[in-house]
Amino acid sequence: MNATLKVFEDKNAVARQFAEDLLTWTKGKEKVTIALSGGSTPKVLFKILVEEYLEHFDWSSIHFFWGDERCVPPDDDNSNFKMTYDLLLQHIPDNQRNIYRVKGENNPEEEAKRYAQMIEEVVEKANGLPQFDIMILGMGDDGHTASIFPHQMELLEIDEICATAKHPVSGQIRVSLTGKVINNSKQIAFLVTGYGKAERLKEIFNQEDNYQQYPAAHIEAKNGGLTWYVDEGAAKLLV
């Protein structure tokens, strides 16, 4: 795998190092487009950004998008937007916020098209596709990333910028960026913590068994850098 692996003691150390790298990547830039992730590790990241880094960033240069979103209203506790707003965005002054949320309350198919159009209008293009400066990803226990699940591998290769996805257990509908757009990013960062991810991480990094059945194994950063920020629990089975 053509990726950089960084291992840290715990999720706090993972988040703190990523915050440092994020500061480096954004410093002095007039415009930076970031696609955010949901999950437990970004919660820690957002808290650290507010408590330790809030005054260090030029927030007016940063444009916030989401890699995926659950099709729920923005005040629903399942909303990735709500989590990000509560922990991070509300602490950024109003005149420095550039927020482009997925409207989870809309019809999912129509919203996937609307969000794709907005991305095309705001995000610079390269290789015929929108190119985010920074793509933050997580990985589920089943190897999914964004909302690309193992039973919908076609979302890795379709030409659309966004698509609807269905959670394999709950049946919940989501809007997700697709694989080609994710892989076109300048910097891709996986934030993966906890022993529950260790088996999947080992299979993907060692290219074991049927590792290609996991969407996360197909994230390649074809036009930039790919870094996995993991804690000791997630890295426990790596050799």
The CA-based dihedral angle spanning residues 72, 76, 77, 78, taken in that order and rounded to the nearest 10 degrees: 0
Q: What whole-number distance in Å separates Cα of residue 26 and Cα of residue 28?
A: 6
Give residue-wise pLDDT tens across range 49-104. Answer: 999 999 999 999 999 999 999 999 999 999 999 999 999 999 999 999 999 999 99
- Under the banding of pLDDT at 50, 70 and 90, the label for residue 4 is very high
User: Residue 223 above 80 pLDDT?
Assistant: no
The beta-carbon contacts of 85-91 under 8 Å, at least 24 apart in sequence, are: 87/43, 87/46, 87/47, 87/50, 88/46, 88/49, 88/50, 89/64, 91/50, 91/54
- pLDDT > 90 in the chain, percent: 95
Is the pTM higher than 0.95? yes
pLDDT at site 224: 78
